[in-house]
Structure 1
């Protein structure tokens, strides 16, 4: 069942995470960032990607009636249903892999990979897909 309040809250959450990442992206050229700031950036990125995957699960459930038990299955179902292009799938895969690296290899220094993703603003895909998916739900469930 569709929950428009949750959708709106998710959009607001994603927007806040993207603003935080954009601030970092613009700031890092001017000054060095400390370890606490790195942790905020890593956490914001993790939350942003997780919210994209959760929204995708929600779309699959509400639009296609596909019950997805884990975030790991989401990408395959999106591709199977042609809900994302191959290129978007590849971009999502990069975001997911980077999130996994940060989440599970937290003792390693992965921040340079995240900085590269920031420079390319790879995370902007999340906002675009979110808007597309919510529009898709709105148009099919009037």
Structure 2
């Protein structure tokens, strides 16, 4: 059963995270960020991508009746069900791989790579997909 309140809350939370990332993206590149600011941007990015994957799992469950146990299986399931275009799949892959680097290679300096990805505003795909998936769930109920 759908949880429309959760869907709306997730969308609003994603929107707020995207606004925070946009603030960073628009900053002058000559401004040095503090370590706390870097960590806040990385954490926001990680949460945004995780929320996209969790919502995709939710859609797979409620639209296709497919249970996906782990986040790392989500993209394959979306592709299998032709729920994303090839281009979207590639963008999701980039976002997930960057999230994984930040999450598990936290001793390495990945912020330059993250800043580069943010400058392209690839993360905006999350909001687009959330709208598409919510619409798809709504069509199913008609």
For normalisation by structure 2, the TM-score amounts to: 0.97
Give the paired residue count. 142
Q: Which residue of 2 aligns with 1:33?
A: 33
For normalisation by structure 1, the TM-score amounts to: 0.97
Q: Secondary structure at the match of 2:122?
A: coil
Q: Which residue of 2 aligns with 1:52?
A: 52
CA distance in 2, matches of 1:136, 1:87: 19
Q: Secondary structure at the match of 1:21?
A: helix
CA distance in 1, matches of 2:56, 2:141: 16
CA distance in 2, matches of 1:76, 1:117: 22
Deviations 1:20-39 (A, max 9, x none): 00000011436221111000
Q: Which residue of 1 aligns with 2:111?
A: 111
Moved more, 52-61 or 22-31: 22-31
Q: Which residue of 1 aligns with 2:15?
A: 15
Unpaired segments ≥5 residues, structure 2: none
CA distance in 1, matches of 2:41, 2:2: 31
The equivalences for 1:40-79 within 5 A come to 40-79=40-79
Aligned-pair Cα RMSD in Å:
0.9
Q: Which residue of 2 aligns with 1:102?
A: 102
CA distance in 2, matches of 1:30, 1:107: 24
CA distance in 2, matches of 1:106, 1:25: 21
Unpaired segments ≥5 residues, structure 1: none
